[in-house]
Amino acid sequence: MFKHETIETNSGLLIVLTLVAISIGGLVEIIPLHYIDETVEDVRDPDTGFEMVRPYSPLELRGFDIYKREGCYTCHSQMIRPFRDEDLRYGHYSLAAESKYDHPFQWGSKRTGPDLARVGGKYSNEWHVQHMIAPRSVVPESIMPNYPWLAETELKLSDLQDRMIALKKVGVPYSRTTAEYENNVKRFGEAVAKTLDINLAENTLIAQANQGNYDGNKAKITEMEALVAYLQVLGTMVDFDKFDEEHFIQFR
C-alpha cells in the first residue's frame, strides 16, 4: 500500500512530486491563455485595414534596450488600468495588443515614478533630454536619478541586426527574406514594413535619428536619441480617436 512516509523519507521523490504539484498550478493558469482567442485584441486601422500595433523601429528598439539596461522598469510601469482615476491622469487603458511585441513586457504594479504607457508625445524631445540629464531642473520634487551619460555615449550599432534576429526568433515579425517583407507590407503597410527589414536596419536607424533629431545633437547618434525615440512612441501606435469608446470592451 502507498505510504506518505515513503515520500517524506525519500528526498529525490519528494522533489519530483513537489515540482509536479507546483507546475499544475502554473500550467492551469498559463496554458489556457494561449487558447483563448480574445486575450490579445486585433487592432486594425478602420481606414486602411493595417495592424496598428507594430514592432519597434530599430532606433526605438535600441531605446527599449537602454530602458531595460538602466532599470527604468524598477520605478515606472507601462500599464494603465481601466479605472477612472487612471483614465483621467494617463489616458486610455492599455490594451494587451499594445505590449505584444515587448520582450519582456513592461507591465507592473509598482509605481515610484509615473506610468509611462502613454508618455509618447506628452512632452517635447527637449524636455526629455533635459529631464534625463537633470530631472530636478524641470521637476523640482523628482527623486529620479540623473542619466547624463546617455547624451554623451554613442549608440552601439554593431549588434543591431543580431538583436532583431533574436527577437524574430521569439515571434516579433522583423523580416529577413523578401517573402517576410511582403507579408509585413500586407500587415503593416509599406512605410512600416521598411522599418522592420533587418537587412536595412542600420540605415533605417540612422535615417530616423537624423530626421527626428531627438537629442538636438546632429554630430553623432547617442543613446539619448534612441531612448527619447522609444519614449516618444509609447502608447501612440493605437489611435483611439478612430474607435468608439466602447469598442475594446468586446475583447473582454
Partner 1 sequence: MAKPVKDPLTGAKTTGHVWDETLQEFDNPLPRWWVWMFYATVVFTIVYWLMYPSWPVAGTYLKGFNTITYETDAGEEKTTHWNTRALLQRDMQTGTQALKQKEYLTKVAAAPYEQIAQDPDMAAFVRSYGNGIFGDKCAACHQAGGQGVVGLFPNLVDDDWLWGSKPEQITETLVNGRNGFMPPYRETFNDDQLDQVANYVMSLSGLEANKEAAVKGEQIFKGEKGGCYYCHTSEGTGMYAQGAANLTDKIWTVANVPAKDSAEEKLAAIKTVIRDGIQRQMPAFSSRLSDTEIKVLVAYLKQLSGE
Least separation in angstroms between CB 108 and partner 1: 17
Least separation in angstroms between CB 32 and partner 1: 3
Contact 214, 125 (CB under 8 A): yes
Interface residue with partner 1, options 17, 22, 139, 143 (CB under 8 A) = 139
Interface residue with partner 1, options 5, 11, 20, 25 (CB under 8 A) = 5
Residues of span 13-72 touching partner 1 by CB under 8 A: 32-33, 35-38
CA distance 54 to 186: 12
Of 9 and 153, the one with the shorter C-beta distance to partner 1 is 9
Listed as own residue / partner, the contacts of 8-13 with beta carbons closer than 8 Å and 24 or more positions apart are: none
148 binds partner 1 (CB under 8 A): no
Of 50 and 240, the one with the shorter C-beta distance to partner 1 is 240
Residues of span 77-96 touching partner 1 by CB under 8 A: 81-84, 87-89, 91, 93
- The torsion angle over the Cα atoms of residues 49, 230, 70 and 98, rounded to 10 degrees, is -20
Least separation in angstroms between CB 125 and partner 1: 7
In DSSP terms, 150 is beta-bridged to none
Residues of span 172-191 touching partner 1 by CB under 8 A: none
Per rule CB under 8 A, count of chain residues that contact partner 1:
44
Interface residue with partner 1, options 50, 105, 107, 123 (CB under 8 A) = 123
**DSSP 8-state code for residue 37:** T
Of 83 and 149, the one with the shorter C-beta distance to partner 1 is 83
Interface residue with partner 1, options 74, 137, 153, 178 (CB under 8 A) = 137
Of 104 and 140, the one with the shorter C-beta distance to partner 1 is 140
CA distance 14 to 16: 6
- Best CA proximity match to 44, nearest among 187, 183, 180: 187
CA distance 245 to 204: 35
Q: 246: part of which helix (H) or strand (E)?
A: none
Alpha helices in the chain (DSSP H): 4-8, 11-35, 58-69, 84-90, 125-133, 149-152, 160-169, 178-188, 190-195, 201-212, 223-233
The footprint of partner 1 (CB under 8 A) covers 3-5, 32-33, 35-38, 81-84, 87-89, 91, 93, 118, 121-127, 130-131, 137-140, 216, 239-241, 244-246, 248-252
